[in-house]
Amino acid sequence: MIGIAIYLILFLLGLVSSLILLLSGQLPEWTISYQLPISCGLAGGFGGVLYCLRGLYVNYSARKQWSSEWYPWYIIRPFASILTGSVSFLFLKAGLLVLEAQTNTSSSNFGFYALAFIAGLNVDKFISKIEDLAQATWGIEKSRASKDNQN
């Protein structure tokens, strides 16, 4: 359990460091044009690490049901959260997900960051919503994993 806690804290520090480097302009020149999607990935990562830290606390301290079988989940989940944070940017930018009813040209990127954080925080629900969207828009059937979770 201690190893997973250290891993998650180091992962969090890596996310913070990456964000600081990105915002300070210390990264390569090409990252400037991709600052928003990279930031969305980082926001998803923050959501994922928060979810894992909460899971660590709940399962170890509150419920007293810690199991080493979950180690792979704790290791992989922050990466999956970064990916879903990045994917949320794509869906917003493509107009497949809408945050506001009216277009506001002076709006900031906080909506992108908020959705990316939520996508990283709850990967399963985000993927389920994306599959709902794909099914409604293009008729693509949901994955077996999503169908199994609905039952």
DSSP string, 29-64: GGGGGGHHHHHHHHHHHHHHHHHHHHHHHIIIIIS-
In terms of Cα–Cα distance, which of 50, 131, 117 is closest to 84?
Answer: 117
Predicted TM-score (pTM) of this structure: 0.85
Question: Of 102, 75, 85, 72, whose CA–CA distance to 42 is shortest?
Answer: 85
Question: What confidence score (pLDDT) does residue 103 get?
Answer: 55
Instruction: Give the tens place of pLDDT for each residue, 52-64.
Output: 999 999 998 898 9
Range(s) of the domain holding residue 66: 2-120
pLDDT in tens, 36-88: 999 999 999 999 999 999 999 999 889 899 888 999 999 999 999 999 999 99
Residue 25 confidence (pLDDT) above 60 = yes
- Number of structural domains (the chain) is 1
Report yes or no on 129 lying in a domain.
Answer: no
Any domain includes 42: yes
Residue 100 has pLDDT above 90, yes or no: no
Does residue 134 belong to any structural domain of this protein?
no
